[in-house]
Amino acid sequence: MKVTRCVIAALFLAVSARGADEVIALKASRIFDGKSNALLQNGVVIVEGDKIVEAGSNLPIPSSAHVIDLGDATLCPGFIDAHTHLTSDFSGDYSQRRLKEVDLNVSEQAIIATTHARATVEAGFTTVRDLGSRFVGSHEFVDVALRNSINKGVVIGPRMLVATKGIGSTGGHFDPTSGFRDFLFGREPDYTDGIADGPDEIRKAVRFEVKNGADVIKAAVSGGVLSLADEVDTPQLTSAEMAALVDESHRLRKKVAVHCHGDEAAHEAIEAGVDSIEHGSFMKPETLTLMKKKGTFLTPTLMATEWIMGRLDNYPPALQAKAKAAAAARSDMFRNAVKMGVKISFGTDAAVYPHGQNAKEFKLMVDLGMRPIDALKSATANDAELLGIGQKIGTLEKGKLADVIAVPGDPSADITATERVTFVMKEGKIIRQGPPAVQKHGNNASPPLTAPAD
Ligand SMILES: [Zn+2]
């Protein structure tokens, strides 16, 4: 009886000691601060409430601190993925996915999305820029709902910057009715679905999305791989439409990310002043030179092509041909971008492959010539800059939000260590220490959704 009482008292003390102002000291053999060119030994991050109070090498640990020693591991800023679609899963058989897309209730798809959010944060990605969420025949803003639920603590997931519907032209990559029988959904999509033609309608679409909660504007300026009614590299917005898109978004203080495989469309989009080119498969060296000059980010999404190329039988012949063409071009494009010093953001197109495998992008980047330390920076400081929240996250520094993860060993020696995250803290709260709570989805494990992504 006495023992039980002691145990209860000890438990009570342990729980009550974990108050909001408890100081936590995270220790590991190494630390990557998000911006330095090398890891430091004997990493320490001191956390109080939701903020980092101090971070560095061999720091003294306050006697009142609760110490978490993560051993032979590297402390890193929480990773950022600048290109996800958390409300969707396109990873299985393409035709089955299209059928389920019109079968499943959107509310059910929203509930499934909460498991994608959890798998992502448990993989060490504490922030994502979610670039498009659309349900054919529906006007729901599931990405906004998921973001808000995570912010309120109702759902466990990464901090999200959301784009709502992507904006694109009639019949273009984002047209959700492309490939279906004409008027199957009773009407042509319009600006309320993100489909807009002409500069004025583009402005209206941007305004409509911001009104409904968009943090960032996404548009398709060229064709894509997983869409049925377009070629992969044709321009899909005019220069006048792109100028209106960028002007209206920047007036409303929103950044612009554009889906773009084709070189001509990329050149025009960079000239128009977009903030990032997503994919960029066919970009020529001259276009990369322009990107470097203008400071435009490249989000390469190597994982998306990698996944599709590994399972070509999942896709109809027309899409297989587009995937092959994009895959054949993108490796040279990426190598050139690295050599030329174009700003590279880390983004994976999660949803094209199962959520939670985001970190596999690191090895693909390193295999194509990027230094491991630069790949790590792309997913931390670079992405924080692109997202416009570099003052809050992206590095382990005094005053920043305590988004801290740990990977085993030394990721600068073995970049695949990033795929085996052992500890995740977001805003000072421990989300994971040890094995993940959510099993990663298999290829066909969760119902696929919505309109084309890649
Ligand atoms: Zn995408």
What's the pLDDT tens digit per position in 9-18?
Answer: 444 444 334 5
| pLDDT band at 441; cut points 50, 70, 90 | very low
Enumerate residues with CB within 5 Å of ligand 1 (an ion).
Answer: 349, 453
Residue 194 Cα to ligand 1 middle (Å)? 15
Task: Enter the tokens of residue 343.
Answer: 């700003």
Helices (H), 380-446: 383-387
According to DSSP, residue 398 is labeled T
Residue 184 Cα to ligand 1 middle (Å)? 25
Q: Is 306 helix (H, G, I), strand (E, B) or coil?
A: helix
Task: Enter the tokens of residue 266.
Answer: 């990329």
What is the average pLDDT across 173-195?
93
Residue 453 Cα to ligand 1 middle (Å)? 4
What is the average pLDDT across 34-60?
97
Q: Looking at 16-30, 214-228, 259-273, 341-355, which range is the least confident one?
A: 16-30
Assess whether pLDDT exceeds 90 at residue 2.
no
Residue 409 Cα to ligand 1 middle (Å)? 32
| pLDDT band at 6; cut points 50, 70, 90 | very low
Task: Enter the tokens of residue 395.
Answer: 């590095």
Residue 226 Cα to ligand 1 middle (Å)? 10
| Rounded-to-integer distance, Cα 370 and Cα 448, Å | 32
Question: What's residue 340's pLDDT?
Answer: 98
Q: Looking at 41-55, 323-337, 439-453, which range is the least confident one?
A: 439-453
Task: Enter the tokens of residue 115.
Answer: 């498991």
Residue 433 Cα to ligand 1 middle (Å)? 30
